[in-house]
């Protein structure tokens, strides 16, 4: 026989899923969130997202010296997620600097996709919060103007419900759930976030343990230690789940594959840890919100969590610790 | 009964419909046979006295054997003249000693071939001896000598026999066809196994994508109180022994242990038929059903093929191989072995011959691990394939062992699901080989 055959190690068939298809699924999951952001915050939200995604993709393509700017899709995901954690109408240069920092400091300096330790979008946010805090803290938040696409939302500003108890008592749980409150672009609508999260769960890209552990812990701590200021203890727990970035963080940031544990037990520990730190910052820290630092801190100990939670193999004996 | 679904595993495209409805047909006698002296796990055989180049042999005549206990004798699958004894390509990837025989076209059976007698008159030792002398090995592909499994140590009594009709490998339909066509033989072989082991229960596990086989076998066991059929959820690797035993008996084989540690042995449906043939007709194992399929095969089929037939002749009998064929595989697409060429013989464990084109395969460059954990979710042994693979890549084999690399049975699920297309199974194989090497030192 003269024909040359491919000889390689089994298995000889592979699933059609690729890094690109996974990233595309994440983009699809973010679609309802992005749509809600535009409905609530108008054209400025759309502009912020477009600038952020374009910057992230271009910076990554330039760094990797590749012409294919979409590539594996991970830069687009980082860019979109970074936009989601910005105020509705930030200055354009802040978006550019932050998105570029996400890609370069958050990802490429570690060796690119798969090697980064911290969630790239959150690194970008940490950079701008530390450098230009005035644009993302205090009474800079624009209240949403539903269905007013062309309005300048930045004309009026307020504080977020988490930063100001008076503001918190003024919003109903329904509005918190739908997202009709001041806050970051993508964090306000629990409804849209849950829709996208359900899609990611259906596609098998996220495990219940991280969001479950995270949201569960936030609820419990909010109910137990939140002071019950929001119509009683249980409602206060629910308020802490729906207000601020917990839903966005738990469903899209903490579940980032690269920077979270791979073991089932590790994922649960990671989720609970994120919840604990978030609530400690919110309740006892000097910042109104703690999602960014909670996830970044847990990212740092992800390898340790993985090391200590190696699953028992099939038929393995229980270790007497 | 435990859970009827095992944890982990994957759902590949099965592509069994290509050959599932094709009845087994005997392939025309080959122009020569090349019979390797090692077709089983264990000690290789040596040619018997008088078996040398030029000597005449008959069909079913024993031509090679070993004094080792874990071994199985080899028989001629044709009558004819020995052309050569020497090294030949082997489907498991090396060059091993083999006996080449040119058939005389008369297919004369050896005089020793005669029925073993009624099962009632046969003792356990008689049956065990018949199985050994017939050279029967596990026909699902593992090729472990059957008589060894029928000889468990006294301290490990067997109470349940599990028959593997799962056939979870995509493309393959050989077991499916024999279940449809020879149910009575399977049940007879199973009863012989139960008698030898003094086992009082048996379960035949069949995946639910073979509903017709389940119906046929349920009919065949009517009135047999000790035998039941387990309808198995279709998922790869359902036919792996540990997963099969868990879902059919609820018992968990300990890590590093054997089925007999939990009172179970398991046999493939094809092995049960081979045992039936040896007892009732005195026939040794010299032919088997092979599924020849894949989009590179012109006329896919389930063929009854003589052991030693060259793969090139089998493919010729199926209308030849298409020019677009990229991979030639002996076995299934998940655990089978890719071949360098088609000049290799069919052996006792050859369940399938696949010619795959780019229609069947999705080839892509591998990229860095994104830690998605899909390999951990897919691993039926609950290992961390990506962790073991990374240690293997950096030659940290001790750390790979701590992640239980040796428990991997190379089902291929991790490589299959990996979105980064990392050859995880291959890295784990390397780790296993290095760990074993370090232990031998």
Give the model's confidence band at A164: pLDDT under 50 very low, under 70 low, under 90 confident, else very high.
confident
Q: Which domain holds residue B274?
A: 114-281
Tell me what the pLDDT averaged over chain A comes to: 92
Q: Are A117 and A62 in contact (CB under 8 A)?
A: no
Using one digit for the tens of pLDDT, what is the confidence trace for B220-238?
999 999 999 999 999 999 9
Q: Are B51 and B82 in contact (CB under 8 A)?
A: yes
Nearest CA in chain A to B383: A313
User: What contacts A206, CB < 8 A, 6 or more positions away?
Assistant: A197, A200, A251, A255
Nearest to A14 among B339, B373, B415 (CB): B415
Residue A318: what pLDDT?
64
The reply to whether B322 falls in a domain is no
Residue A30: what pLDDT?
97
Residue A321: what pLDDT?
40
What mean pLDDT do residues B180-184 have? 97
Give the model's confidence band at B3: pLDDT under 50 very low, under 70 low, under 90 confident, else very high.
very low
Asked whether the beta carbons of residue B255 and residue A207 sit closer than 8 angstroms, the reply is: no
Asked whether the beta carbons of residue B12 and residue A15 sit closer than 8 angstroms, the reply is: yes
Asked whether the beta carbons of residue B339 and residue A314 sit closer than 8 angstroms, the reply is: no
The reply to whether B299 falls in a domain is no
Asked whether the beta carbons of residue B257 and residue A315 sit closer than 8 angstroms, the reply is: yes
Give the Cα separation of A106 and A124 in Å (integer).
Answer: 7
Name the minimum distance, in Å, from the CA of B368 to any CA of chain A.
6
Residue B2: what pLDDT?
41
Size of interface A-B (CB pairs under 8 A): 176
The reply to whether B92 falls in a domain is no
Could you please report the per-residue DSSP string of B122-176?
A: --HHHHHHHHHHTT-B-TTTT--BHHHHT---TTS---EEEEEE---STT--HHH
Residue A319: what pLDDT?
53
Give the model's confidence band at A149: pLDDT under 50 very low, under 70 low, under 90 confident, else very high.
confident
Residue B153 sits in the same domain as residue B277: yes
Residue B258 sits in the same domain as residue B148: yes
Nearest CA in chain A to B413: A11
pLDDT above 90: percentage of residues in chain B? 92
The reply to whether B158 falls in a domain is yes
pLDDT at B254 over 60: yes
The reply to whether B218 falls in a domain is yes
Dihedral angle over CA of B393, B395, B401, B402, nearest 10? -90
Asked whether the beta carbons of residue B362 and residue A317 sit closer than 8 angstroms, the reply is: no
Asked whether the beta carbons of residue B343 and residue A264 sit closer than 8 angstroms, the reply is: no
Asked whether the beta carbons of residue A262 and residue B327 sit closer than 8 angstroms, the reply is: no
Using one digit for the tens of pLDDT, what is the confidence trace for A265-294?
999 999 999 999 999 999 999 888 899 999
Closest CA to B224 of B196, B194, B251: B194
pLDDT above 70: percentage of residues in chain B? 99
> Which residues does chain B have within 8 Å of residue A12's beta carbon, measured at their own beta carbons?
327, 329, 333-334, 336, 338, 354, 356, 361
> Which residues does chain B have within 8 Å of residue A24's beta carbon, measured at their own beta carbons?
none
Q: Which residue has the higher pLDDT, B94 or B371?
A: B371
The reply to whether B260 falls in a domain is yes
Which domain-ending residue is among B251, B281, B311? B281
* Order of all β-strands in the sheet with B264-268: B227-232, B201-207, B160-165, B264-268
Give the Cα separation of B335 and B49 in Å (integer).
Answer: 37
Give how many domains chain B has, as a whole number: 2
Name the minimum distance, in Å, from the CA of A263 to any CA of chain B.
7
Tell me what the pLDDT averaged over chain B comes to: 94
Give the Cα separation of B131 and B277 in Å (integer).
Answer: 10
What mean pLDDT do residues B393-398 have? 96
What mean pLDDT do residues B21-44 have? 95
Give the Cα separation of A191 and A197 in Å (integer).
Answer: 10
pLDDT at A140 over 50: yes
Interface test with A, best of B92, B258, B372, B374 (most A CBs within 10 A): B372
The reply to whether B185 falls in a domain is yes
Residue A320: what pLDDT?
46
Nearest to B370 among A8, A258, A264 (CB): A258
Q: How far is CA A293 from CA A41, A123, A140, A266, B143, in A?
A: 26, 9, 20, 19, 56
Residues 290-319 of chain B with CB under 8 A from chain A are 312
Q: Which CATH number is B223's domain given?
A: 3.40.50.11540
Give the model's confidence band at A102: pLDDT under 50 very low, under 70 low, under 90 confident, else very high.
very high
pLDDT above 90: percentage of residues in chain A? 76
Name the minimum distance, in Å, from the CA of A16 to any CA of chain B.
7
Asked whether the beta carbons of residue B404 and residue A313 sit closer than 8 angstroms, the reply is: yes
Asked whether the beta carbons of residue A114 and residue B367 sit closer than 8 angstroms, the reply is: yes
The reply to whether B421 falls in a domain is yes
Residue B121: what pLDDT?
86
User: CB pairs under 8 A, 24+ apart, for B79-83?
Assistant: B79/B103, B79/B104, B79/B106, B79/B107, B79/B108, B79/B109, B80/B56, B80/B104, B80/B105, B81/B54, B81/B55, B81/B56, B81/B57, B82/B51, B82/B52, B82/B53, B82/B54, B82/B55, B82/B56, B82/B57, B83/B32, B83/B53
Judge whether B237 is closer than 8 Å to chain A, CB to CB. no
Residue B263 sits in the same domain as residue B410: no
Closest CA to B52 of B77, B83, B98: B83
Give the model's confidence band at B265: pLDDT under 50 very low, under 70 low, under 90 confident, else very high.
very high
Give the Cα separation of A240 and A246 in Å (integer).
Answer: 8
Domains of chain A: 19-306 (1.10.3430)
Q: Are B344 and B90 in contact (CB under 8 A)?
A: yes
Asked whether the beta carbons of residue B403 and residue A310 sit closer than 8 angstroms, the reply is: yes
Which domain-ending residue is among B218, B247, B281? B281
Give the Cα separation of A168 and A158 in Å (integer).
Answer: 12
User: CB pairs under 8 A, 24+ apart, for A33-36?
Assistant: A33/A84, A33/A186, A33/A189, A33/A192, A33/A193, A33/A196, A33/A248, A34/A80, A34/A84, A34/A186, A35/A192, A36/A179, A36/A186, A36/A188, A36/A189, A36/A191, A36/A192
Using one digit for the tens of pLDDT, what is the confidence trace for B120-130?
889 999 999 99
Residue B189: what pLDDT?
96
Nearest to A12 among B254, B336, B368 (CB): B336
Q: Are B42 and B67 in contact (CB under 8 A)?
A: no
Judge whether B255 is closer than 8 Å to chain A, CB to CB. yes
Which domain-ending residue is among B246, B281, B316? B281
Nearest to A114 among B368, B415, B421 (CB): B368
Name the minimum distance, in Å, from the CA of B92 to any CA of chain A.
12
Q: Which residue has the higher pLDDT, B312 or B142?
A: B312
Q: How many CA atoms lie within 13 A of A277 on its CB side?
A: 18
Name the minimum distance, in Å, from the CA of B201 to any CA of chain A.
23
Nearest CA in chain B to A74: B370
Structure token pair of residue B165: 């009709």
Give the model's confidence band at A151: pLDDT under 50 very low, under 70 low, under 90 confident, else very high.
confident
Give the Cα separation of B35 and B392 in Å (integer).
Answer: 36
Using one digit for the tens of pLDDT, what is the confidence trace for B144-172?
999 999 999 999 999 999 999 999 999 99
What mean pLDDT do residues B198-214 have? 95
Give the model's confidence band at B322: pLDDT under 50 very low, under 70 low, under 90 confident, else very high.
very high
Nearest to A9 among B361, B371, B426 (CB): B426
pLDDT above 70: percentage of residues in chain A? 98
């Amino acid at each position: 026989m003269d024909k040359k055959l491919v000889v390689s190690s089994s298995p000889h068939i592979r699933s059609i899923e690729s890094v690109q298809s996974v990233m595309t699924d994440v983009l699809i999951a973010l679609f309802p969130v992005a749509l809600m952001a535009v409905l609530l915050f108008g054209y400025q939200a759309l502009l912020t997202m477009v600038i952020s995604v374009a910057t992230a993709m271009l910076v990554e393509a330039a760094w990797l010296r590749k012409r294919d700017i979409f590539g594996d899709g991970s830069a687009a995901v980082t860019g979109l997620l970074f936009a989601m954690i910005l105020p509705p109408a930030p200055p354009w240069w802040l978006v550019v600097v932050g998105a570029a920092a996400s890609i370069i400091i958050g990802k490429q300096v570690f060796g690119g996709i798969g090697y980064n330790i911290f969630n790239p979008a959150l690194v970008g946010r940490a950079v701008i919060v530390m450098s230009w805090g005035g644009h993302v803290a205090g009474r800079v938040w624009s209240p949403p103007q539903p269905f007013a696409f062309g309005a300048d939302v930045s004309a009026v500003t307020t504080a977020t419900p988490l930063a100001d108890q008076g503001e918190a008592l003024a919003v109903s749980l329904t509005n918190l759930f739908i997202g009709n409150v001041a806050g970051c672009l993508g964090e306000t609508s629990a409804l849209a976030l849950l829709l996208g999260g359900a899609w990611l769960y259906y596609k098998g890209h996220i495990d219940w343990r991280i969001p479950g552990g995270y949201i569960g812990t936030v609820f419990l701590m909010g109910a137990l230690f939140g002071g019950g200021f929001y119509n009683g203890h249980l409602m206060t727990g629910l308020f802490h789940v729906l207000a601020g970035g917990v839903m966005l963080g738990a469903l899209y940031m903490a579940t980032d594959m690269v920077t979270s544990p791979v073991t089932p037990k590790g994922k649960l520990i990671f989720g609970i840890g994120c919840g604990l730190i978030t609530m400690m910052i919110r309740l006892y820290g000097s910042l109104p919100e703690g999602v960014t630092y909670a996830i970044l801190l847990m990212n740092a100990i992800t390898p340790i969590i993985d090391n200590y939670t190696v699953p028992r193999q099939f038929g393995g004996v229980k270790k007497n610790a | 009964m435990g859970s009827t679904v095992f944890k982990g595993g994957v759902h590949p495209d099965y592509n069994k419909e290509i050959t599932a409805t094709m009845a087994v047909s005997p392939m025309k006698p080959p122009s020569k046979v090349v019979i390797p002296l090692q077709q089983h796990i264990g000690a290789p055989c040596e040619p018997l006295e008088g078996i040398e180049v030029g000597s005449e042999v008959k069909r079913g005549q024993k031509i090679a054997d070993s004094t080792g206990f874990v071994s199985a004798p080899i028989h001629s699958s044709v009558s004819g003249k020995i052309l050569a004894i020497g090294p030949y390509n082997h489907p498991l990837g090396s060059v091993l000693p083999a006996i080449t025989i040119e058939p005389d076209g008369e297919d004369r059976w050896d005089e020793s071939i005669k029925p073993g007698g009624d099962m009632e008159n046969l003792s356990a030792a008689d049956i065990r001896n018949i199985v050994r002398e017939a050279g029967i090995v596990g026909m699902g592909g593992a090729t472990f000598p059957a008589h060894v499994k029928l000889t468990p140590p006294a301290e490990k009594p067997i109470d349940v026999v599990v028959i593997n009709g799962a056939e979870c490998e995509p493309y393959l339909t050989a077991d499916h066809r024999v279940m449809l066509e020879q149910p009575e033989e399977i049940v007879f072989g199973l009863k012989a196994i139960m008698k030898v082991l003094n086992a009082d229960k048996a379960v035949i596990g069949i995946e639910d994508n073979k509903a017709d086989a389940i119906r046929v076998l349920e009919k065949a066991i009517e009135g047999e109180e000790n035998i039941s059929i387990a309808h198995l959820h279709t998922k790869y690797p359902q036919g792996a022994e540990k997963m099969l035993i868990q879902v059919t008996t609820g018992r968990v084989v300990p890590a590093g242990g054997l089925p007999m540690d939990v009172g179970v042995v398991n046999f493939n449906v094809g092995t049960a038929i081979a045992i039936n043939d040896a007892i009732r007709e005195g026939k040794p194992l010299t032919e088997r059903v092979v599924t020849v399929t894949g989009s590179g095969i012109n006329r896919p089929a389930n063929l009854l093929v003589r052991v030693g037939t060259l793969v090139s002749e089998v493919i010729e009998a199926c209308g030849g191989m298409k020019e677009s064929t990229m991979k030639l595989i002996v076995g299934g697409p998940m655990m089978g072995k890719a071949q360098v060429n088609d000049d290799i013989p069919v052996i006792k464990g050859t369940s399938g011959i696949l010619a795959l084109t780019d229609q069947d395969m999705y080839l892509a460059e591998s990229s860095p691990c994104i830690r998605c954990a899909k390999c951990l979710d897919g691993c039926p042994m609950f290992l961390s394939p990506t962790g073991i693979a990374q240690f293997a890549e950096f030659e940290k084999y001790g750390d790979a062992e701590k992640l239980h690399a040796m428990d991997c049975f190379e089902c291929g699920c991790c490589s299959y699901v990996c979105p980064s297309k990392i050859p995880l199974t291959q890295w784990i194989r390397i780790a296993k080989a290095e760990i074993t090497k370090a232990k031998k030192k």
